Chain A
Amino acid sequence: GAVVSQHPSRVICKSGTSVKIECRSLDFQATTMFWYRQFPKQSLMLMATSNEGSKATYEQGVEKDKFLINHASLTLSTLTVTSAHPEDSSFYICSARPTGEGYTFGSGTRLTVV
């Protein structure tokens, strides 16, 4: 089946620094990728839709300047958490949908801001 690779799986950063998370579709092209955030014991909350070659679409309440999304190619989308603070600590997951198949999710990135 289709694979979405997400890196890194875990990252710890200091408050005020920026962190980049990569999401790659390994065996298919993805013009659209989705970024989710998940707090412990809660559901997935869609943050933004990443569109190849154009601006991302952010969900209501998500700060565009804090969560920068770049979808530079048909196989790579990146999420950069800028000026991270402890409240940004969470589990971030990306997703893409191969043609004719269901949504495939990455393995997630556990971000801890100290």
Chain B
Amino acid sequence: QQQVKQSPQSLIVQKGGISIINCAYENTAFDYFPWYQQFPGKGPALLIAIRPDVSEKKEGRFTISFNKSAKQFSLHIMDSQPGDSATYFCAASIRFGNEKLTFGTGTRLTIIP
């Protein structure tokens, strides 16, 4: 059962543009929602995470928007750069991240000049 659905599967954005990746979850017990960035041949690296008591969190060019009623959250990358080209995974967990992560299917982001 796919508990975290991620879209789009792939995304091409022009340099300087905004990249937006969306995720939707089913389990209302989830209370920790991180985003990971993965480069080919490497392990995922934590980008930013949010808890459901806030609707938005921003760190540098990366912003998470969270809609608890819709059970959706999204990652916005502002001023996208070629170095942002990677695969992005959303994830969810319960007990504020003290339990195992459930990952989305991933989005391959390509930033073109």
Contact = CB atoms under 8 A, between A and B. Distances in A.
Contacts of A49: 100
A36 to B, nearest CB: 8
Given A103-B34, A105-B45, A44 B89 contact: yes
B97 A43 contact: no
Tell me if A's interface is mostly helix, strand, loop or mixed. Answer: strand
The bracket for how many chain B residues form the interface is 10 to 19
Contacts of B103: 43-44
B66 to A, nearest CB: 16
Nearest to A48: B100
Nearest to A101: B46
A24 interface: no
Contacts, number: 46
Given A43-B89, A44-B103, A103 B97 contact: yes
A94 B27 CA distance: 25
Interface string B36-59: 100001111110010000000000
B18 interface: no
A6 B106 contact: no
B105 A102 contact: no
Contact of B46 (A43, A93, A103): A103
Nearest first, the 6 A-B pairs at minimum CB distance are A105-B43, A102-B46, A108-B43, A43-B103, A93-B43, A105-B44
Interface of B: 34, 36, 41-46, 49, 89, 97-98, 100-101, 103-106, 108
